[in-house]
Structure 1
Amino acid sequence: MSGAPATDLPVAVVGGGLAGISAALHLADRGVPVILFEARSHLGGATYSFQRGELSVDTGQHVFLRCYQSYRQLLERLGTSHLAPIQERFAIPVLHRPRPDGPLRTAWLRRGTWAPAPLHLASGLARYSPLTVRERALAATAAAALRTVDPDDSSADRVAFGPWLRRRRQSERAIERLWALISVAALNVPPDQASLALAARVFRTGLLEQADAADLGIPATSLRQLHADPASRLLDRLGVRLHTSTKVQRIAVDGARFVLRTRRDECLARAVVVAVPHQAASQLVPTEAAPDRHRWADLGSSPIVNVHLHYDRRVTNLPFAAALDSPVQWVFDRTLAAGARRGQYLVVSLSAASDQVDKPTEVLVRAFTAALADLFPQARAARLLDAFVTREPHATFRQRPGTASLRPLPLTQVPGLVLAGAWTRTGWPDTMEGAVRSGLRAADLLDRYDRAPHDALTEALP
C-alpha cells in the first residue's frame, strides 16, 4: 500500500474512555499528532451520561478515592477537579438494625485525625456497632495480616479473598458487615469470588497505608460534564482529530504502518493505542500482535445495576449511605448533580449484580421502592415522579483469582501497537484510576519507543 512515510503519520487512539482520553492527552502534550476514534457519539467510555427529562443521568455511580492520584490529575488537566469534591476525612454512614424487628440505626465507618496509618482506623473500628466487640478485635488482626499481602504477588492472585478472611478467624457476619461492604463495591464480585491480590490493593492502598487515602470523592455533576465534554474541548484545542460515532472495525499491519478500517473509510497511522474493553480488543488486535488474544475472553465480566428513583419531596438528608440487612447496597443523592429542579433523586447502586441484571424493570423498581421506604420512613408518603433502571452487564472484568495471568502487558508483539484499559495489567482493580494509569503508560511507551528498540522496552516491563 502506498502513502506517506510512517514518521509523517499520526498516532491513532481507538477508544474514547478514560484510558483513551489519557493516552491522547499525553501524546498531544508532547506534540505528537493524534487521531482518536470513538464508536459512541461522545467521549467518556463507561463513565457516560444521558438525558432523561430534566435529569442528567449517569449510567453508574463512579466514586473515587483521594489515593486516585492519576485520575485526580486528569481532572485537574480537564479543569473539572472542583466538580468532584473529596471528603475532609473518610466517613461512611452505614444503615442497619441491631435486631431484625428493632429500629434503624446509623453506624459510621470513619477514620480518626490524630494518628498515622493504620492506627487512624482504630477508633472508628472500635465504635463500629454492626460488629461485636470480639469481631472488631479480630477484624483489626485481619487488617494487620492484610498489610503483609503483596498485591503484585502472583501467588496472592490465585487465592480467594473470602476463604483467606475465614482463615484469619473472620465470622460470616464480619465478612458481610465489614469486609464485603468495601470489597464488593470496589471489585464488583463477592469476597468468595474475589482475588486476594486485588483485595489487598484496595485495602492496603485505600485504607491501611496512608491515613487520608480513602477519603471519598463523589462527582457533584454529571459524568459527561466531568469527563466527556471538557475532554472533547481540550483535545480539540490541542489539535487532536476526534472521530466520534466512528467504530474501528479492523486494524491491519502494513510494514511500519497500521491501517485502521471503519465502515466508511480507512486511516493510516504510525502507531496505535487500543483502548477499548477486552471483549472488543480481542476481536480488533491483529493476531500477530497478540497470538494469545483469545485468552482475554476468560477475564469475563461482572454487572452493575442502578435503580433510579425520583421522589416529589426530600426523603433523606444523607448525601450517600451503605446499608446492611437490606437489598440496598449503596444509595446516593444525585438531586443537584443531575440537575433535578424538584423533589429528591436517589440512585441505588448494586455491584456484583448477576441476580438483578436480567430482572424486569418493574420488579426492581417495586423491590427497591419498598427497600428505601424501609430505610427512609419519609419515602413512604412520597410520590415517585420517575423510576427507571440502568444496567451495565459488562461493567468490569470479573476480578476473581487467577486474573493477573490473563491481563496483558501494554506492549504487544508488533512494535508500535500498545494496549490500554483498566483490564490490562495495571496492578490495580478495574477502576477509573486503573484506566487512566493504563492510558498514560501506553502513551509513554510509544513516546519511549521513538527513542528505544521495542525489545528493550519489553525487557524493561515487569
Structure 2
Amino acid sequence: MTDVCVVGGGLAGITAAVRLADAGIGVTLLERRSELGGATYSFDRDGLVVDTGQHVFLRCYERYRALLDRLGSAALTQMQPHFRVPVLSPGRAPHVLARTRWLPAPAHLLPALAGYSLLGAGERLRAIVAAGALRTVDPDDPRNDGRTFGEWLADRGQGPRAVHRLWDLITIAALNTPAEHASLALAARVFRTGLLDRADAGDIGRPTAPLRDLHGRPAHRLLNRLGVRVATGSRAERIRPDAAGFRIAIGDAGARAARDELSADAVVLAVPHAAAARLVPDSASAGRDEWHRLGSAPIVNVHLCYDRPVIGLPFAAAVDSPAQWIFDRTPASMSDGQYLVVSVSAADDEIAAPAGRLAATHSAAIARLCPAARSARLLEAFVTREPHATFRQAPGTRALRPGAATRLPGLVLAGAWTDTGWPDTMEGAVRSGHRAADVVLAHLVSADRHLEGTR
C-alpha cells in the first residue's frame, strides 16, 4: 500500500511527486520509459546525445525554474541578460529583435518593433499599435478562446507579411500552430505574460546540457533521496476505485497483460490526454469522451552535423525559409565541427515526409541563411519526429481541458494539457503538477478527518 501513486514521470509527475514527498506522503511513481523526463528526454545516436525536442524557457517560467533549482540542475542552463533574438532571412544580414534595458513594459519593445527591418514603416507602426491593444485581451475570458489570433490580428491591420515575419515567429514556436489557427486566449497568454506585461519576462533560457541531465536523471536522484519509490519500465494498465482507495494494475512497458497491482489512497494521473482517457474510470469525468477533441500537433527536428562551424549564434529564428528556429547543440554533444538542430513546429506537412527529403531541404535552407555552410561538409543528417508534441491549441480548447480534480475524490489529473490557463509548455506542466499535489493533499486531509470522526 502506498499513500499516492503518481502515474507518469514527465515534468508534471515529477513535480507532483516531489511536492507530495516534501509533505511527508509516501509516493510511488510509475513511468513506462526507462528514464524519467516524459517528452523532455534524450537518447544516444552514433556518439551524439540527441534531445527529442529543442526546449527553451522564459524568465517568466517561475515554477519551472524553481523546479530546476530543486533538482539541482539550474546551472546546466543559460539565461539571456535581456530578450534578444537574431532573425535570419535569405540574402539579408541578420536582424536582431531585442528589448531595451532601460524602458519599462511595454515601452521596452518599442525600439525593437520600430526598427524591425523585415517590415515596412507602415507595418511597423501598425504592429506597435496591435501590441498595445493585445495588452487589453484577457487570456481567461472564454470569449477570447472562441476566436483565432489570426482574426484578431487582421482586425488590427496586420497583413500576411506582418503575421508571417513577426507574429508567427512567436506564435508557432510557443503554441505549435500558426496565428490563423491559434486560440486568441492562448496567444494573449503567450504575448502578455512573456513579452508585454513585464520587461524581463521574455528573456530566453536554454539548456546547455542534454535534457536527460537537466530533468530525468536529477529528478530520479532527488526522488530517491526523498524516499519515493520510482518504478521505470512500468506501465499503468488500469485504475479502479475500491473501498480503500484505488487499485492500479501495472504491466511492463510494451506488455499487454498486467504483472502486478498496487493499492493507493490517491492517484495522480500525469499522462497525455489520450492515455488519461483510457485509464480514467467512467465515473470519474463527464468530459472524458471529449478529450480526444484536443487533438495533437507535431514537431519535426532536423539534425545536421558539419565539419566546421557555420553559424556563430547559440540560436536564431528564420523567416522566408523552411527553417523556423535553429539551435547550436555543439557544446552539449560534439567536440569538433558544429551540430545544428532545425526545429519545425506545426509540422503537419513535414511529419510524414521522408527523412532524406527533409535533410536535403533544411541543409539547403541553412546554406541560404548561413554563407559559411556553403563551403562546409555535411557529415551527418537525420530526423526526429514528435507526432503528438502538444495538443492542438485552437479556439475552443479551454472548455475541453479538465481541471485537476475528477468526480472520484483522490483521482487527480496533471499534465500541460489540463486547464492550467497556460499553453502546452514546460511551465504549464510544472504548474499542473503543483495543482494536482494540492488537490491530493486536501483530499488526504479530508479523508483523515473523516476517519477520525468515525472512531
Q: Structure 1-normalised TM-score? A: 0.94
What is the letter of the counterpart of residue 218 of structure 2? P
Q: 1:173 aligns with which of 161, 170, 181?
A: 161
1:247 aligns with 2:235: yes
Deviations 1:19-50 (A, max 9, x none): 00000000001110000000000100000000
1:93 aligns with 2:81: no
**Which of these residues, 276, 280, 283, is aligned with residue 275 of structure 2?**
280
In structure 1, the partner of 2:311 is: 316
Partner deviation per Cα, 1:332-362 (whole Å, 9 max, x = no partner) = 0000122x12110000000000000000101
Three-state SS of the structure 1 residue aligned to 2:262 is strand
Note if 1:291 corresponds to 2:279.
Answer: no
- Separation (CA, whole Å) in 2 of partners of 1:47 and 1:127: 36
Q: 1:274 touches 1:420 (CA, 8 Å); kept in 2?
A: yes
Q: Structure 1: how far apart are the matches of 2:423 and 2:62?
A: 15
How much has 1:171 moved relative to structure 2?
1.2
| Whole-angstrom CA distance in 1 between matches of 2:71 and 2:201 | 22
The 8 Å contact of residues 50 and 56 in structure 1, kept in 2 or not, is answered as: yes
Instruction: State the one-letter code of the partner of 2:113.
Output: L
Which residue identity does 1:308 align to in structure 2?
Answer: H
Q: Which residue of the partner structure matches residue 371 of structure 2? A: 377
Are the counterparts in 2 of residues 188 and 399 from structure 1 also a CA contact under 8 Å? yes
Paired residue for 2:346? 352
Amino acid corresponding to residue 423 of structure 1 in structure 2: W
Which residue of 7, 10, 17 corresponds with 1:17?
10
Partners of 2:216 and 2:51 lie apart in 1 by 12
| Contact 2:62–2:427 (Cα < 8 Å) also in 1 | yes
Task: Give the corresponding residue for 1:128.
Answer: 116
Are 1:329 and 1:350, in contact at CA under 8 Å, matched by a contact in 2?
Answer: yes
Q: Which residue number corresponds to residue 100 of structure 1?
A: none
Distance in 2, matches of 1:95 and 1:346, equals: 15
1:441 aligns with 2:429: no
Does 1:63 find its partner at 2:56?
yes
Which residue is 1:398 aligned to? 392
- Would you say the 8 A contact 1:157–1:401 is kept in 2? yes
Q: Is the 8 A contact 1:107 1:129 kept in 2?
A: yes
Contact 2:186 2:423 in 1 (8 A): yes
Offset at 1:186?
0.2
- Asked if residue 154 in structure 1 is aligned to residue 149 in structure 2, the reply is no
The equivalent of 2:453 in structure 1 is none
Show CA shifts across 1:422-457 (max 9, x none). 000000000000000000110011112233489xxx
How far off its partner does 1:292 sit? 2.4
Partner of residue 34, structure 2: 41
Q: Deviations over 1:132-159 (max 9, x none)?
A: 1111111111111111111011110011
Mapped partners of 2:395, 2:266: distance in 1: 33
Is 1:414 the counterpart of 2:408? The answer is yes
1:184-203 mapped onto 2 (5 Å cutoff) = 184-203=172-191
1:182 corresponds to which residue? 170
Residues of 1 paired with 2:38 and 2:149: CA distance? 29
Instruction: Give the counterpart letter for 2:182 in structure 1.
Output: A
> Does 2:63 match 1:31?
no
The one-letter code matched in structure 2 to 1:375 is: L
Counterpart CA distance in 2 for 1:312 and 1:450 is 58
Structure 1: gaps (5+ residues)? 98-102, 455-462
Q: Gapped runs of 5+ residues in structure 2?
A: 252-258, 449-455
Q: Which residue of 2 aligns with 1:84?
A: 77
Give the deviation of 1:104 after TM superposition.
2.1
State the distance in 2 between where 1:10 and 1:55 align.
40
User: How much identity, in percent, do the aligned residues show?
Assistant: 60
1:93: how far off? 0.3
- Conserved? CA contact 1:54–1:341, under 8 Å: no
Residue by residue, what CA displacement relative to the aligned partner does 1:254-302 show, whole Å, maximum 9, x if unpaired?
Answer: 1241000012100000000000000100001111111321100000000
- The residue number in structure 2 matching 1:307 is 302
Partner secondary structure for residue 60 of structure 2: coil
2: distance between equivalents of 1:106 and 1:155? 39
Match of 2:204 among 206, 216, 237: 216
Identify which of 316, 320, 330 aligns with 1:335. 330
Supply the distance in 1 between the matched residues of 2:191 and 2:244 (Cα, whole angstroms). Answer: 44
Report the secondary structure of 1:105's partner residue: coil
| C-alpha deviation, 1:10, in angstroms | 2.0
Alignment partners' CA distance in 2, 1:195 and 1:242: 37
CA distance in 2, matches of 1:453, 1:240: 22
Mapped to 2, the partners of 1:54 and 1:444 lie a distance apart of: 42
When the two structures are aligned, how many residues end up with a matched partner? 441
Partner residue, 1:106: 94
Taking the aligned partners of 1:255 and 1:164, their CA distance within structure 2 comes to: 51
RMSD of aligned C-alpha atoms?
A: 1.1
CA distance in structure 1 between the aligned counterparts of 2:71 and 2:445, rounded to whole angstroms: 29
AA aligned opposite 2:141: D
Measure the CA separation in 1 of the matches of 2:193 and 2:341.
27
C-alpha displacement of 1:105: 1.5
The secondary structure found in structure 2 opposite 1:270 is strand
Residue in structure 2 matched with residue 457 of structure 1 by the alignment: none
Q: Residue type matched to 2:128 in 1?
A: A
* CA distance, structure 2, for counterparts of residue 195 and residue 32 of structure 1: 38
The question of whether the paired residues in 1 share the 8 Å contact of 2:287 and 2:400 is answered with no
Tell me the equivalent position of 1:389: 383
User: Structure 1: how far apart are the matches of 2:115 and 2:168?
Assistant: 18
